[in-house]
Amino acid sequence: MQNRKFGQLGTPVFPVGYGAMSFTDFYGPATEEGSQAILTRCLDLGIDHLDTSNAYGLGKSENRIGAFLSKQGAQAQDMFKIATKAGITRDPDGNRVFNNSPEHLSESLDKSLERLGVDQVELFYVHRRDPDRPIEEVAETLAGLVKSGKTRQVGFSEIAPTQLALAQAVTPIGAVQSEYSLSTRSPEMGLIQKTAEIGTTLVAFSPVGRALLTDTPISYETCQTLDFMKVNPRFLEPNHGRNLAATDGFRTLAADMGVRTSSLAIAWLLHQGDHIVPIPGTRSIAHLEELAAGAHIVLSDSDLAAIDACLPIGWCHGDRYSTGQWGGPEKYC
């Protein structure tokens, strides 16, 4: 599969990026050595888009990318097309709040560039939107950051297609990030269409359903050791067991096709639109190779129909977030 055009500037990127939240302990212990090995293998595989955030491990993800780049010499700036994010912070009482002020976003981008050890990133996202601040005003701030030369493009994470249209009227929006996979199909109700219409890349996080769409789905026991998973409705019983049973047929289908389950999940996603770039995360080299392999799988109409019959829209048990986890993402359908 050929490179995809990233954002409205059309920057060429490998069809599959890498989600660097996995350089933190979000899904289990992550090491400096392991993170460096993943980045090295990304380069070997042609994966050149990295997605990170100042919120991932309180800067740990960016620091680990920066440590790798610091060893690469003069070419470091151009080795990866890096996207980072800001906008999630804490109030004096430790509660999570969203800050989209010009001062906060500008200062956050400066600190991210310092941790990454680069002068410019490919894209800077507003990680979560402050609903009390008009998105047009935030888009003006982002336009100023592009003019500063510190980011080539800008974007938003987890916004509605209507909000995207308002922001796009102010400044070009290079990418919108949203959860999208065979287990989370809500972007099909307006976001895929709007991003395609205006030339915005849809960056799909959790493209293998937080391991549900793999050959080794996460166990209930492991879920109970992880802060995010142990309260997420899809990974609580009885939903967890039901979702494992529901995806067994997809694992069988992948085996019959001679591919790994995660590879097939990525391939399906790439076939939903030329403007879609999934960003799976993993701490495993073998799994990284499976994910990248999805970019080279060509699916026929009959293949896509078989996948749809196996996992029809709406099959997944449980909401994608708990009540507390829903704070920030915009619901639009």
- Residue 94 reports pLDDT greater than 90: no
- Copy the structure tokens of residue 22: 């996995």
Residue 92: the pLDDT is 84
- Residue 109 neighbours by CB distance under 10 Å: 21
Residue 244 has pLDDT above 70, yes or no: yes
pLDDT at 5 over 70: yes
Q: What is the pLDDT of residue 255?
A: 98
Specify the pLDDT at position 28: 81
Domains and CATH numbers, the chain: 4-210+269-297 (3.20.20.100)
Task: Please tell me the predicted confidence (pLDDT) of residue 47.
Answer: 97
When pLDDT is averaged across residues 13-23 and rounded to a whole number, the result is 96
Selected catalytic residue, list 18, 56, 125, 180: 56
What mean pLDDT is predicted for residues 109-129?
97
Buried b / exposed e over 123-143, threshold 16 CB at 10 Å, is bbbbbbbbeeeebeebbebbe
Between 89-103, 137-151, 155-169, 231-245, the lowest mean confidence (pLDDT) is in 89-103
pLDDT, residue 332, reads: 87
180 is catalytic: no
User: Buried b vs exposed e over 196-229: b needs ≥16 C-beta within 10 Å?
Assistant: eebbbbbbbbbbbbbbbbbeebbeeeebeebeeb
At residue 96, the pLDDT reads 86
CA-based R_g, the chain, Å = 19
The predicted structure's pLDDT at residue 27: 83
User: What's the CA gap between 11 and 91, in Å, rounded?
Assistant: 37
Cβ within 8 Å of residue 44, ≥6 positions away: none
For residue 1, pLDDT over 70 is answered with: no
Rounded to an integer, the average pLDDT of 84-104 is 91
Task: Quickly state the pLDDT bin for 273 (edges 50, 70, 90).
Answer: very high
pLDDT digits (tens, 9 = 90+) for 203-214: 999 999 999 999
Tell me: pLDDT of 93 over 90: no
Per-residue buried b or exposed e for 302-318, using 16+ beta carbons within 10 Å of the residue's own CB:
ebeebbeebbeeebbbb
Mean pLDDT of the chain: 95
pLDDT of residue 246: 97
Mean pLDDT of 291-305: 98
Q: Is the pLDDT of residue 128 over 90?
A: yes
Residue 74 has pLDDT above 80, yes or no: no
